[in-house]
Structure formats: C-alpha cells, structure tokens
Structure 1
Amino acid sequence: MTLVVNDLSAGYGQLTALRNISFSVEAGEILAIIGANGAGKSTLLKTIAGQLKALTGSVVLDGEDVTALPASARARRGVLMVPEGRRLFPSLTVKENLQLGTSTGRKGAWTIETVCDLFPLVAERLNRTAGQMSGGEQQATAIARALVGNPEVMMLDEISLGLAPAIVVEFYDRLGEITKRGTAVLLVEQDVKRALSVADQVHCLLEGQTSLAGRNLDFAEIAAAYFGTEHR
C-alpha cells in the first residue's frame, strides 16, 4: 500500500488554508505531521479523508486516484480518521460505537475481539455508554472504532490532547502493533518529541505550507521549521 498526496491545496470559503502539500507514505510507516496551531494539520487530514474538498492536487491510494470520492467511499477503501475530540456517539455503548466502525465492510485482522485485546480499557467498558467515560477511555474507543474498519491508512488527530501522561504512553506503545499489521499512520501531534520518537518520517507545516519534510532530520532543523526561524 502506498498513499501519495501530490500538490494538495484546500481551504474554507475564500480562505486557502493548505497550499501545495506533497508526500508519500508506505504500509507500516508512521508519518508525523507537526506544526503550530493553525498550521493546517487538521485541514490536511480532513482533505485526505474526503471531509474537505481539495482545491488543487490529488490523493492517490494504491495507484487509484480517490480525490473525487466522498468520505464514505474513501473509508470503504481504507482511509479512516480518528478526529480531534473523538466524535463518539455519547448515548451509545462502547460496543455499539465499535459496531458502527465495522460499517466500512472491510475484512481483516481487526475485529471487536482483537481491538479489545489491544485495548483492555475498551474491553472492560463494552456495555458502558460513551458519554459516561473519561477522556482516555473515549480516545481508546475512538482508535478502536477506526481499527475495526481495517484501515489501510489511519489518521490520528491530536490523540494525546488533554490526556494524562500514562494514558498517552499506552496509546503510543500500541502504535507498533498497529503498523506491524501493515497500516500506515498519519499522526498529527503537538508534542513534537513524542511524535519524533515513533515517526519514520516527518512533515512540518507552517502557515499552510511545507516548511520541512524528510527522514532522520536534525531536531534543530525541525524546531526552526516549526517556528519559522532560521536554522543555524
């Protein structure tokens, strides 16, 4: 599996929030997308997922151009997102939220049983309504819901935001199990050092444009690209 994003631009109304972004990611890789608030990170994920229409450029999955497809069709092809804020159905139980994740119809290693093995936190709360759970419990459920769709590409938008450090460490420990099964992960994260600890490659955004991209980058280079300062 290869996801190729080429010359992608997107925006809201008259505002162009993302300009000419290009990268590729292979099966089993983690691409960390970093940048300050307002840099365009969430806009990029939404455009790849089909929630936001591209103004220019293309999104290609396994050689198929999916740029014109709606979000539902992209999900059926294995492009799934865990959005910032989780977006669970609060009145439904954890199990019911997971069952909704299987609506992609995709078959694979991830089932309700296997995601429960990955996240015991989820297994212990299957019959609890999502609205009654803590932020960490909800985030685990949101990740599990995406996994049962058996994604080719899973996009994680700020999974550590507002959570206790111990819970964040647990989530990051699970990423290896996810990528080991061939899923590519696009990881949007404010905690740059944590993202770098797991990433195979990095894409830094600044004011909607690429300020730095690559593998094995020097942290000083990354810091300069993040803040838009000159690297010395």
Structure 2
Amino acid sequence: MLEITDLSAAYGQMTAIRNISLRVESGGILAVIGSNGAGKSTLLKTIAGQLKATTGSIRFDGEDITTLTPHERARRGVSLVPEGRRLFASLTVHENLQIALSARRTGRWTIDAVYDLFPLVAERRNRRAGEMSGGEQQATAIARALVANPSLLLLDEVSLGLAPAIVGQLYDRIPLIQEQGTAILLVEQDVSQALRVCDDVHCLLQGATSLAGRNLELADISRAYFGSEG
C-alpha cells in the first residue's frame, strides 16, 4: 500500500527527517512513535504532500506520488487527520463532514457509517465544532477523514491533550476502522496506546529511525524512544 524509501524533508535549511524507509501493507497498521520533536508529524505532512520531500520517494498503491499535490494524493486515497484537528470551528459537525464529500471516493464510509462508528459525533451533529470538547473534536476529525473513503488513514497524535478515558475510547475505534480494509499509519507519543492496536512499530529519534520491527520488547522500544543506552 505505502512504501517510503530514504525519505528526507526540511523546513528551510533545517532537516527535520532524514533517510526514513518504511512500509504499510494493504489493510495493515503501523505505529510511528517518538518523543516531541522526533519528526513524526513532519513525516505525515510529507506523506500527505503538505511538505516537499528533499530526497527519497513515496510510493502509494504502486504509484510514485512523491511530487503530487495534497489534493491529488487525497483523491488517490490518502487522508490525514492532522495534529490540532483543524476543523471549521464556525460550522456544525455535520457540515464539517459534508465538506469531505468533495474528495469522496467509492467505499463503505458514508456519513451515516461514521455516525455509527462514533455515536458521540452523531449526537453532536448539529453543534458547532468550535463549541465542542477536545475529544469530541478529535472524533469528528477522524470521522471527517473517513468520509473521503481513504485507502490509507494518517493519524497524527490522537491522544494529544485528551483525558485518558477519552483516548481509550478513540483507540477502541481504530481496530474497527482497520477491519473495514483501511490501512493506518499512526503517529503517537503514547507508546502504551500505540501498542494496544499495533504490533508493527517504527521509532523516530531526532528525525531518524532508531528502531523498527514487529513484536518488539518494551525495553528496546524505550531505549529507542529516549535514545538511552541503559
């Protein structure tokens, strides 16, 4: 589904990620973990086309998409739930979901389907997005991305700034999304939540891969996450 090879990206003269290679299989899920500033969000922005790659390649569903615009990638099936949610605060939940219909591909994720997945979003459908809690906004942001029927869902820091109980509820939905055939690339600081839903882990440290593999030992992940030797 997604194959990244030797990918680097920069903000001006500052390299933010360097020589990253990873794969997400069709219908699979990969967790990219690391501390704040490790390059996780930069990686997702580069995959989604919001940041230009300086070196390397991004292949999606067999096609090189490295130079495509964000909207071209979205129409091919790449949807990003960005850090901070980025909802239209003055619009209702339902109106935010309707906006995603403009990029909608054929698939099972209708507005009614995401309401079934997130009953709380359905209950708030007529509320303005800017009047909702962080957890309600995060659920709405995920629902909006799904309405476009992506083949690959990019989730950036689902747990950021949310109460543990709300984070748990959101993570309960991730396997249900995957069961419908949607591949997921999940970026997260909270290692315990990421490991709840994913066996494949890719650790970033200071913009580079520090560890990658399947069914890794927690002690090894901890060393890769913090860059410690002990």
Bin for the TM-score computed over the shorter chain: over 0.9
1:106 paired to 2:105: yes
CA distance in 2, matches of 1:99, 1:129: 14
Matched residue, 1:181: 180
Q: Residue 63 of structure 1 corresponds to which residue in structure 2?
A: 62
Task: Indicate if the aligned counterparts of 1:10 and 1:17 stay in contact, CA closer than 8 A.
Answer: yes
CA distance in 2, matches of 1:172, 1:37: 20
Q: How many residues align?
A: 230
Q: Distance in 1 between matches of 2:33 and 2:26?
A: 20
Following TM superposition, the consecutive aligned residue runs of length 4 or more in structure 1 with deviations greater than 4 angstroms are: none
| Residue 36 of structure 1: how far off its partner (Å) | 1.1
1-structure distance, mates of 2:122, 2:95:
13
What's 2:132 paired with? 133
**C-alpha distance in 1 between matches for 2:56 and 2:15:** 13
Please report the TM-score for the alignment, with normalisation by the length of structure 1: 0.97
Following superposition, the deviation at residue 116 of structure 1 comes to: 0.2
Is 2:28 the counterpart of 1:33?
A: no
- Counterparts of 1:56 and 1:18, CA distance in 2: 10
Contact 1:25 1:184 in 2 (8 A): yes
Please show how residues 1-232 of structure 1 align to structure 2 within 5 Å: 2-230=1-229
Name the SS for the 2:74 alignment partner: helix
Partner Cα separation in structure 2 for residue 164 and residue 101 of structure 1: 27
Is this contact kept in 2: 1:98–1:144, CA < 8 A?
yes
Contact 1:39 1:207 in 2 (8 A): yes
**What percent identity do the matched residue pairs reach?**
70
How far 1:105 sits from its partner (Å)? 2.9
Q: Are the aligned partners of 2:92 and 2:126 in contact in 1 as well (CA < 8 Å)?
A: yes
Deviation at 1:134, TM superposition (A): 0.8
1:163 aligned counterpart, secondary structure: coil
Gaps of 5+ in 1: none
Gap regions ≥5 residues in structure 2: none
Provide the rounded CA distance (Å) in 2 between the counterparts of 1:39 and 1:96.
35
For residue 166 of structure 1, report the CA deviation from its aligned partner.
Answer: 1.7
CA distance in 1, matches of 2:144, 2:198: 23
**Contact 1:119 1:140 survives alignment (8 Å):** yes
Cα deviation digits, residues 89-136 of structure 1 (max 9, x gap): 000111110011122131100000000000001111111110111111
Scaled by the length of structure 2, the TM-score of the pair is: 0.98
Cα shift at 1:164: 1.7
How big is each residue's C-alpha offset from its partner over 1:206-226, in whole Å with a ceiling of 9 and x where there is no partner?
110000001011111111111
